[in-house]
Amino acid sequence: MKCLTFIILLIILQACPQKFQPVKTVPMENKEAKNNPYYSRTDTSKLDIPNEEWKKILAPDLYAISREAATERAFTGKYNEFDEIGDYYCAVCGNHLFRSTSKFSSSCGWPSFFEADKKGVYYKRDTAYGMERVEVLCKRCDSHLGHVFDDGPKPTGLRYCMNSVSLEFIGDSEK
């Protein structure tokens, strides 16, 4: 009986091989990150890459912001005035950071969100420039993303003030 089942299975496999082809799961890769071997929107394993290596891979503006905590000029970022439906990923490593439904229009000049993916970010106290702030970093690659403030809208009351350069948006229609 087992043998018969096996034979039937073989016949089915031969009759319709296309049904048993593996499903393509390779996501569309970030164009800017095509030379970045660490970039992946599916691999969530922690990265520990020294800055000397990142410097060879990342565009100068992304390196300055993500690895040296620079800030892009207000009102210049590509996602400041942007409201498409989709997800925001770390431009350095592809880690998921925000969903567009948590983005809100703030007048601060940088893309703002009221909620982050808890698995995507972590926080650090930042006292640079004589200010008391909370820095937001990528959990996978430790890149600087921006800061979080407590003057955001409901339901969280938080305002994640992010650099557009640090983000990579993928619209739902592109997935």
Degrees (nearest 5) of the Cα angle 111, 129, 125?
Answer: 70
Beta-carbon neighbour count of residue 104 at 10 Å? Answer: 15
Residue closer to Zn ion by CB (options 80, 95) is 95
Sequence-ordered list of residues with C-beta below 8 angstroms from that of 60, at least 6 positions apart, any chain: none
> Does 138 help bind Zn ion (rule: CB under 5 A)?
yes
DSSP SS3 for 2: helix
Hey, what's the torsion of the CAs at 24, 102, 146, 171, to 10 degrees? 30
Q: Which of residues 75-104 bind Zn ion (CB under 5 A)?
A: 90, 92-93, 95
Which of 92, 158 has the CB closer to Zn ion?
A: 92
Give me the residue label for tokens 């503006």.
61
168 in helix, strand or coil?
Answer: strand
Q: In one letter, which amino acid is 97?
A: L
With H, G, I as helix, E, B as strand and everything else as coil, classify residue 6.
helix
Contact predicate 91/165, CB 8 Å: yes
Nearer to Zn ion, 138 or 165 (CB): 138
Q: Which region among 7-15, 75-83, 142-150, 154-162 touches Zn ion (by CB under 5 A)?
A: 142-150
Give whichever of 93 and 106 is closer to Zn ion, judged by the CB atom. 93
Judged by CB under 5 A, the residue of 41, 67, 103, 140 near Zn ion is 140
Q: Is 161 tagged catalytic?
A: yes
Tell the smallest beta-carbon distance from residue 151 to Zn ion (Å): 26
Binding segment for Zn ion (CB under 5 A), chosen from 25-33, 113-121, 122-130, 134-142, is: 134-142
Q: Should residue 165 be labelled a site residue for Zn ion when binding is judged by CB under 5 A?
A: no
Binding site residues, Zn ion, CB under 5 A = 90, 92-93, 95, 138, 140-141, 143
Report, as residue numbers or ranges, the catalytic residues.
Answer: 161
